[in-house]
Amino acid sequence: MNRRHFLSTVPFTFAAASNAFALSPANPFDTAWMLKRIPRRMQEFVDKQVVSGAVTLVAHGGKVVALDAVGYSDLAAKKPMRADDLFWIASMTKPLTGTAILMLQDEGKLSVDDAVEKFLPEFKNQMLLVTKTPEAIVLKKPGRRITLRDLLTHTAGLNSDIPETGRDLMLGERTLAYALQPLAFEPGSKWQYSNPGINTLGRIVEVVSGRNFADFLDARLLRPLGMKDTTFWPTEAQARRVAKSYQPGPDNKGLAEVDNYFLKGLPLTARWRTAIPAGGLYSTASDMAKFYQMMLNGGVANGKRYLSAAAHRQLTSTQTGEIKTGFTEGMSWGFGFQVVKQPQGVTAMLAPGTYGHGGAYGTQSWADPKSGTIYILMIQRARMANGDASDIRKAFQETAVGALGN
């Protein structure tokens, strides 16, 4: 653990706790003391070489009450993890993409019930795969066309097979490739996690707004919310603060550094890399807390409304009915967000209606509207069996909830 950083943040944690909320126990200093158990629990995972380091953030009642860093952002260099280090948040990008779509719906420029082909004509006449054998492929016309709602809830049935071109495909090229593939199932009939679906939504943002996706997100969400370290392309200075990624070493002993597979060998700072709506952002714990605080406030931050109340409800409430969804039991899907339907296992300590999303390298971001609490976990650990069901996520949430008395 970075002792110097921890000691420097204790006064902040105590002050924030004393001003932010009245909890059980009534004495806020007791709560602040309990919150200090979070970095100690995270350090256990560093000591066991499960992760190289971690940044955790807890916000409650509109205030950050705990922000801690433990371990290392670079094991070889013994570089201590800092609270302002950047992480590849991967699929934690998806809720921001969903928010962009709902912002455009608020402006009357689209509806979540519109057919995708209304904005992307290449999706006209898309077929449904019935059977595929070495001898023949049987296709048929689907019962209906896919809609933006289907994309937002991962129920469109888009296939992910796109040709390997040896270069970085632009969003328009990617969506064309998706459109040329037959659907895997009838739209709206089942759930299948889909990066192509979210990337298609990003392309629709471009077509409807007339701006490239990264510019729209930056102008409409990131800069207004003060998310200065959230970007598809870290600057040289930001790149020096990006935590390195690790996976289990040979024979599952220790940790070995691993490249971010999403970059496909492209430079981290290269602005010509395609901004991927399904998982391309880098961010910090503090930046992500700003986004989730806006969501907890019903779509409002610093006196500015980003989303209508109706759009906010659509994003953060179950939209998938009784369809089985998610990577852990008891989950459902909103528009871009996962939604806890029946708390159990890793979500047992969270209230029904808690919404958020995880990322490929174990990052997690969740907001509990019942208690008004935000939980952000930043790690960079590849080859986790299931990042959504990880022991480190459970330990973080249990410790935070126990400290707050939620």
pLDDT tens for residues 333-349? 999 999 999 999 999 99
198-242: pLDDT as tens digits: 999 999 999 999 999 999 999 999 999 999 999 999 999 999 999
Residue 176 lies in a domain: yes
Residue 173 within any structural domain of the chain: yes
- Which residues neighbour 24 within 8 Å (Cβ) at sequence distance 6 or greater? 405
Domain count, the chain: 1
Question: Would you say residue 23 has pLDDT above 80?
Answer: no
pLDDT tens figures, 119-151: 999 999 999 999 989 888 999 999 999 999 999
Under 8 Å between Cβ of 97 and 336: yes
Q: At what angle do helices 28-35 and 391-404 cross, to 10 degrees?
A: 170
CB atoms within 10 A of CB 169: 16
CA distance 354 to 373: 9
Tell me if 244 is assigned to some domain: no
**pLDDT tens per residue across span 52-99:** 999 999 999 999 999 999 999 999 999 999 999 999 999 999 999 999
pLDDT at 27 over 80: no
For residues 73 and 57, is the Cβ–Cβ distance under 8 A?
A: no
Lowest mean pLDDT, pick from 158-167, 215-224, 369-378: 158-167
Judge whether 134 lies within some domain: yes
Q: How far apart (Å, rounded) are the C-alpha atoms in residues 127 and 390?
A: 38
> Is residue 3 classed exposed, middle or buried when 0-12, 13-18 and 19+ CB atoms within 10 A define those classes?
exposed
Cα(295)–Cα(337) distance, rounded to whole angstroms?
Answer: 11
Measured CA distances, 136 to 101, 126, 159 (Å):
38, 18, 18
Model confidence at 160, pLDDT cuts 50, 70, 90, reads confident
Residue 200 lies in a domain: yes
Average pLDDT of the residues of the chain:
92
C-alpha to C-alpha distance for 280 and 277, rounded to whole angstroms: 6
pTM: 0.91
Look at 167 and 40; give whichever has higher pLDDT. Answer: 40
Higher-scoring residue by pLDDT: 313, 166 = 313
Query: In terms of Cα–Cα distance, which of 96, 324, 381 is closest to 230?
Result: 96
Residue with tokens 């931050």: 301
CATH number, domain of 150, equals: 3.40.710.10
Range of the structural domain that residue 140 is part of: 97-217
Pairwise CA distance, residues 406 & 387, whole Å: 24
What is the spatial distance between Cα 374 and Cα 63, in angstroms, rounded to a whole number?
10
Contact 393, 376 (CB under 8 A): no
The region of weakest confidence among 16-30, 179-193, 209-223 is: 16-30
- In DSSP terms, 128 is beta-bridged to 140, 183
Distance CA 249, CA 149 (A): 41
CA nearest neighbour of 193 among 167, 238, 224, 157: 157
397 three-state secondary structure: helix
Domain membership flag for residue 255: no
Considering the domain boundaries, does residue 105 fall inside one? yes
State the Cα–Cα distance between residues 151 and 178, nearest whole angstrom: 12
Q: Please report the pLDDT score of residue 165 as a whole number.
A: 76
Residue 391 resides in a domain: no
